[in-house]
Amino acid sequence: MTNASNSPIARAQELATQLAQILELEFQALRQQELDQFEQLQPVKTELLSEITLLAPPATLLQNEQDWQDFRVNMLVCRDLHRRNEVLIERKLESIRGTLQSLRIQEATSPIEVYDRLGQIARFSRAQGYNDA
């Protein structure tokens, strides 16, 4: 007789819980812009996903097997956490691209819109800054 804690279902559930924890840590690292910490989490996440892939049955069977329902729910939570992290990364990339684009403006006299101290849009010309220098 096998111990329930040693079953593939229990092990997969444990790994899914660990994956959710890693995804939370990943989100915190992204929010705090701690890219080194984010990078350190990637091999751990990859290893967990590899182990889960080896233990879990195909998705079509997961939907029908009652024993795997808790695991399936946890993996759906992990999917949502991953998507949240993906959205955060995309937003940061868009912000960086926008900043780079504004720095690449070729025409020195083109007006640039920025926010002033009061949060209002202020327009100024790059040429003005060059003349002051």
Q: What is the mean pLDDT of residues 7-26?
A: 96
Ranges of each domain in the chain = 4-107
How many whole angstroms separate alpha carbon 126 and alpha carbon 108?
A: 5
pTM for this model (two decimals): 0.71
Position 4 scores a pLDDT of 54
With a cut of 50, say whether residue 2 has pLDDT above it. Answer: no
Q: What are the beta bridge partners of residue 115?
A: 121
Quickly count: other Cβ atoms within 10 Å of residue 130's Cβ. Answer: 10
Q: What tokens were used for 13?
A: 């559930």
Confidence grade of residue 1 (pLDDT, cut at 50, 70, 90): very low
The amino acid occupying position 25 is L
The amino acid occupying position 53 is T
Lowest-confidence region among 93-97, 98-102, 111-115: 111-115
